[in-house]
Structure 1
């Protein structure tokens, strides 16, 4: 039920006074700023009809060093509080609430705690736990929380090495294995040496152990105060009820005195052009960056303009500055973006795969390109294209998560620095109108000149790969620390770790668990109605039509059959998807295409996907997909540009193709280092599943090796590659087997088909039929330049005749947020771990940024016996069911709804399968989970596993792995 309560300026409600009220077209609603008289807490209420309501509380937290104290606090305050004295209320909420978003984030100068839910009572419950957590955390009584989430020593015996462990410590070892992150930090420190932005807010693993428990508590006391807080409410809610809740429960408390928060001051202009940061990483990870301070966050128009400027200059290979840098052969790839949401926003230009001794050439090329553009003027079409694309994204509001959470983060980009700017970074309509007017008057040329050519606040930083950093080697530091210890010191560490383990293993008491606010089955609403969809055969091509409200946007997915390809053709299909839209066609240059697509389309993507029939798992359907989105009035461009690119792309451009291939190689290599769990899961699946083996050929390690081979022999094989691409494209873009998915109004659908016809497709004579080889188990461990590991283990349940039921979703929730959370994250120190059971049989465990490998696999192996004896009480079981149902019922954006329903069609899922799964989920009993434990034992007994990660951890494993130096 929509609430229509409106607020008036100067109105007082539950201790809050309304300071401003405005209509906000950007959210289809209103915005109110309020201040609580007693606590001085600031509140922004974004009122609209969105049922996915949200709450966030944030604190200004500029760090004074790189110990990561605010990151550790972000984790730690969610480990129990005065009102909710359980070990992990954060996890309890994930297991028991209807949340659609639940997390916390540490930024360079603030810490945010946002939650979202479609249920108002649930949102109040989440608010209750989060407010008590941030204001009254258990950290003051339980030092073990600091040790668990931050850092502590560990040692297994007098003759064993001393180690560090801790969740944030290991998370940041993984995060700072990424050269881009190291470069970002170096550049930020060079630009802002005298401010909070000089420090790594997440924590530098070399510095984290310098943080003391006393300093940790002091930082909380000085910063987690209501007069240093920013509260955001969003969506359709009873605002009177919510404000009363905040006022009565938390905002009328007396706050103990504390010192002042850390200052957040602007940096006086500095020029630092020779910063070198050495890093233990592969030579090909050399990178460098230029940073230019743009001005102040309070100049919203200039900040938006700089964001557009970054896209104009560097948004694609055809953008003028990126094109100049690639032509200069300074690096393998170049990227650029605006760093906003900080006191002084900055423009960063970053390279990947930098060539040796090119820093000066890099700076000179950037400045020369800027001078040329300032003198000759920007291409007006490119500026208009970038603005059109930016506006489309903002209007579409498809942020990949709850709108209220994203809007709360947007609000903080201005509000943190100026109390009058609570909505400035949410509003954009007026700014775009003004920028269009100013563009014709040379505004962007002036902006480029001021930022790049006339700026005395800039920096250049270089990340220089080295084999080892002896002076800061963690093992050496720990060895030196241990050398100063006697046996009593070592025994004390072992006793302390034992105490920590005992606390981690001790279950929460029933009395403590009873304090948590819980929903009841009556709070579960009816399942949201599935939007209607149908297959229409009266159109020129078969059409999957989806009736979903889209705010005037049309979504088109054209699916082309790839069963006409041989197995060794498949990498060329991925290669085709990488190249289409980025090369010249018979009618337009690549640069012209780039501008046309940004101007007239919301998106244009080419990718490959794979579907497996649930009726017959032997039937696998790989698809080549062309995905477009456009405003209703631009649907003709979705047709014309798609057909032009599909039919007349010219592949005879070796320089551009080499650049695109190299950029893809770099992205894949960085993905192995930063999120190797995804690659480990796919690779592990490919040992037993033909579907996964096919995906490996299209996008996994097998494709990466194919890509490296192409680049190694590029010049000699180029003509053959082009010939193969043309042949593969001809077999993909055929009339037979093509299906188009359309989402939009019926009138738009009819207009689309009038324009599209058969998309210029013809039948193709072809005798090749795809045959996927039989998979076999390899149990590989891939060495990549990371300080941590990513492990996966699992099997396909269908091969063991284990049926999929909705109760597996409850089992996955229990395994992920009870057993694995405690065993792999809390005890093992990994940043994350989980278990997934998919409809088509895949059952897999994984870990993320993990300091262990053998220990983690052993914990995976113990999961089955844990589940086989799992005996939750009625309240705990109800929570698992409610949270699992919430996952099924979460709101879905139109684009994703269309893709989900398309997947249902291609996978032959039976009508009503979601309803049946939901019914099974709701009917789950503890005995069902215990029975799954016995089935899970059959999965883990197969001993199918894969890992990506650190050389030392992998080579030190006692398990039998086929070890591969992936990037070597």
Structure 2
């Protein structure tokens, strides 16, 4: 229906209406008169509809109360009195996105679905959760999600447990996060931004249950709320639902929300934050407040400025800092989505006593650029890249969710700015007009050289912080406890365990809104693709609408490399596009790429045939995207880089390799589950063993060894890179994937020909060693653990079918959620069964290791006795189908279909898998439990994590100090 300014519909008054070309639709702002709730409706034809409700929640301390509330309100409500409605929705809805997020000054609850009735169901549960949570009746929710004491006996040590507590122990194992927090506190010492909104583990136990409830009452109120609706929907139905069900109810009186205030300018240049971490994690950060969120043009311009200054190793400020030898890596970025946005310049691997040189280099480089002026081509390159990405709208998740978050970057601070952070076309035009007039030079001068609101923070690694360590705090508490206190803690934990283990009653489960199988739409029609051999090189062509963008993936066979050569292929991918070529300097290439291409990436990938496990095909991939009018550049630039890169630059290569080493080390500490899963797979799978050589621990060790003796090995490295490139880049085995309009495809092949490739006389040389089970535990600088266990079911003669998707859903969101997350306190856990045969368990930010592995071991027996009722089984099937049917962006669709080709998946396999999924029965899942027992019985496992947890394990691991 048409909404017009001034009209009132279901208690909502329409305050504004505008066309918004950036979303191909219209935007309306509305206000619910009775409750004061704000609503933004983004109307377009996107079938992936979305809803979000957010609250302004600036913290007054670092107890993480709003983070704990974010978790806790989704643990049951008045209308839906089940323990985990959030998990029930994941298990039973057609959601394409379902989560909640705590930011530095707001908390958001977004959902998305392609089914309108399903979206209404999700809205119903989320609205009741945030407005009427069970937290007021169930203190145990606070203890489970926040924190509580545990103790095993009168003579045992006291410990903390809680999901958010353990999550933040993992999050703050990351030096980048610790430095960010220190710099933010230095810039905003008198405001909410001085606090860790997620919660500091040293402070979280200071939060009381009474404070927790008070914060909810004062902040989760409708006049403090922001609702976003997005997509192709019946807005009359949605507004009526919100008004009748939730917005017209009488609101309980409560105190005022915490204020969100401006920070008066401060200069704070002497902040030192100590952290228990490795010496190589020393870091520094400079922060500059750029103004207010209300100045949208200045915020966009600063984002562009950050890219111009620091977007690559060739950007002038990053180049100057790397040349000065101040740190191993540096980065710069805009901090927006807050009342006072800021520009941060951050280092990694800072050298000792370089803080003064850091500040001087930043200021001297800024002064030089202000005096001499920016290279206009670099300004235009950054503008073009940013504009391309915004127009492409490939956010990696539901568009409506990302747009809701973007809207909040302005709307939270000014009711008139609901759409300011969604619009960008006029701003880019204005910046292009102003750039020749010195706009960016003046902006840099104001931000860096004339700023009276700035800070410097230094992260100083230390061996231990004894006076603040968790053990010391707990020991102090333990000293104050008598026998009765200890008994009380044990009783409370036992009561909590009973509540966690008690199943929801049938009556409670019946309150949840559920879809029926009839609500599942027909399977979406898969876009057509074909192999074309009449082109100069074999072509996989994908007929997918792309909004005028072309996507090209050139796949080169790596079978002519030996197994020992594989790490050099990864090095090659890391270096191409970042070094000089015969025709251009690295800086010129950087500008050309950003100006004319949406993306240019070089990477390696591995495909294994589903028909023959020994038929493994590693590929070197050159991936390009561009507007159709720039297709010539999508041909010429990759060709020039591939064929004429000059590797004789040890300084630049050392910088790139060092930056990669740092990223890998930080990844082990913050997301070690991914590494544990890959390593675990490599114990039994040749394709995973290849991935290990290309990107896993084996590659990290290779990289670390290379850097340790870089100067001596550099000449041989150059020759090895050239030899590797020669064997990879040949006509033999090369296939090009193209996604775009037919006329663009024709134009591409006219320009590309055979990509100037020759035939190779090199024979296939790739011989993969037999995998060996190693069961390793890697010590990394983290306060938590990441565990993985699994095997390849093919080796047990177990075939993949669609019902394994249902089993994965049940194991992940029932058994593992309750056992590893709820009881064990880990932030996450899951099980996956892949078409390749891999069946694996993992945990994420986990305070345990042996206990988690034991819970993995119990999964088969649980599945073998699984007896869901009809509605629960239906929910698992519906949610699994939704995962298969979720909309896919053009780039991802092309990659998926390319994978189908290289993995030799049979035609119609998705349709067959979907049919199997729909036909899944409880009996089939119980039989999978028996099969899973055979997989688990092989006891193949791997872990990354905290030294104390790993060395305290009673299991047989090969313990390795990975970074030592």
Report the TM range for the smaller structure's normalisation: over 0.9
Counterpart CA distance in 2 for 1:679 and 1:786 is 14
The equivalent position to 1:842 in structure 2, one of 832, 838, 843, is: 838
Partner residue, 2:26? 30
Partner residue, 2:825? 829
Counterpart CA distance in 2 for 1:274 and 1:544 is 58
Partner residue, 2:756? 760
Counterpart CA distance in 2 for 1:147 and 1:817 is 20
The equivalent position to 1:959 in structure 2, one of 944, 951, 955, is: 955
1:103-142, aligned counterparts within 5 Å?
103-142=99-138
Partner residue, 1:621? 617
Partner residue, 2:275? 279
Partner residue, 1:8? 4
Partner residue, 2:580? 584
Counterpart CA distance in 2 for 1:451 and 1:199 is 24
Counterpart CA distance in 2 for 1:597 and 1:768 is 34
Partner residue, 2:386? 390
Residue 573 of structure 1 deviates from its aligned partner by 0.2
Counterpart CA distance in 1 for 2:834 and 2:431 is 48
Partner residue, 2:144? 148
Residue 767 of structure 1 deviates from its aligned partner by 2.8
In structure 2, the gaps of 5 or more residues are none
Cα shift readout 1:363-385 (whole Å, capped 9, x = no counterpart): 11000000000000000000000
Counterpart CA distance in 2 for 1:454 and 1:482 is 52
Residue 769 of structure 1 deviates from its aligned partner by 1.8
Moved over 6 A (4+): none
SS class of match (1:920) = helix
Residue 317 (1) aligns with residue 313 (2): yes
SS class of match (1:420) = helix
Residue 215 (1) aligns with residue 221 (2): no
Cα shift readout 1:736-782 (whole Å, capped 9, x = no counterpart): 00000000000000000000000000001113421000000000000
Counterpart CA distance in 2 for 1:871 and 1:467 is 51
SS class of match (2:437) = coil
Residue 506 (1) aligns with residue 502 (2): yes
Counterpart CA distance in 1 for 2:27 and 2:763 is 62
The equivalent position to 2:333 in structure 1, one of 331, 334, 337, is: 337
Counterpart CA distance in 2 for 1:877 and 1:455 is 61
Counterpart CA distance in 1 for 2:536 and 2:633 is 18
Residue 910 (1) aligns with residue 923 (2): no
Partner residue, 2:434? 438
Counterpart CA distance in 2 for 1:402 and 1:817 is 21
Cα shift readout 1:477-527 (whole Å, capped 9, x = no counterpart): 101111111111000000000000000000000000000000000100000
The equivalent position to 1:695 in structure 2, one of 675, 688, 691, is: 691
Q: Size of the alignment, in residue pairs? A: 964
SS class of match (1:264) = coil
Residue 769 (1) aligns with residue 772 (2): no
Cα shift readout 1:585-621 (whole Å, capped 9, x = no counterpart): 0000000000000000000000000000111111000
SS class of match (1:215) = helix
Residue 363 (1) aligns with residue 356 (2): no
Residue 885 (1) aligns with residue 881 (2): yes
1:653-664, aligned counterparts within 5 Å?
653-664=649-660
Counterpart CA distance in 2 for 1:956 and 1:286 is 28
Residue 413 (1) aligns with residue 409 (2): yes
Cα shift readout 1:906-933 (whole Å, capped 9, x = no counterpart): 0000000000000000000000000000
1:370-389, aligned counterparts within 5 Å?
370-389=366-385
1:874-953, aligned counterparts within 5 Å?
874-953=870-949
Counterpart CA distance in 2 for 1:535 and 1:720 is 40
Residue 328 of structure 1 deviates from its aligned partner by 0.3
Partner residue, 2:477? 481
Partner residue, 2:668? 672
SS class of match (2:271) = strand
Cα shift readout 1:221-250 (whole Å, capped 9, x = no counterpart): 000000000000000000000000000000
1:459-498, aligned counterparts within 5 Å?
459-498=455-494
Partner residue, 1:555? 551
Counterpart CA distance in 2 for 1:866 and 1:359 is 56
Cα shift readout 1:93-136 (whole Å, capped 9, x = no counterpart): 00000000000000000000000000000000000000000000
Partner residue, 1:788? 784
Cα shift readout 1:637-679 (whole Å, capped 9, x = no counterpart): 0000010001000000000000000000000000000000000
Partner residue, 1:354? 350
Counterpart CA distance in 1 for 2:231 and 2:480 is 58
Partner residue, 1:649? 645
Residue 63 of structure 1 deviates from its aligned partner by 0.2
The equivalent position to 2:722 in structure 1, one of 723, 726, 734, is: 726
SS class of match (1:366) = helix
Cα shift readout 1:387-434 (whole Å, capped 9, x = no counterpart): 000000000000000000000000000000000000000000000000
1:80-119, aligned counterparts within 5 Å?
80-119=76-115
Counterpart CA distance in 2 for 1:602 and 1:473 is 47
Cα shift readout 1:449-500 (whole Å, capped 9, x = no counterpart): 0000000100000110001001101101101111111111000000000000
Residue 186 (1) aligns with residue 182 (2): yes
How large is the RMSD of aligned CA atoms in angstroms? 0.4
What is the TM-score when the length of structure 2 is the normalising length?
1.00
The equivalent position to 1:815 in structure 2, one of 783, 808, 811, is: 811
The equivalent position to 2:232 in structure 1, one of 226, 236, 240, is: 236
Counterpart CA distance in 2 for 1:192 and 1:361 is 25
SS class of match (1:39) = coil
In structure 1, the gaps of 5 or more residues are none
Cα shift readout 1:23-68 (whole Å, capped 9, x = no counterpart): 0000000000000000000000000000000000000000000000
Counterpart CA distance in 1 for 2:130 and 2:914 is 35
SS class of match (2:166) = helix
Partner residue, 1:637? 633
The equivalent position to 1:455 in structure 2, one of 439, 451, 456, is: 451
Residue 864 (1) aligns with residue 860 (2): yes
Counterpart CA distance in 2 for 1:34 and 1:186 is 39
The equivalent position to 1:257 in structure 2, one of 253, 257, 273, is: 253
Residue 814 of structure 1 deviates from its aligned partner by 0.1
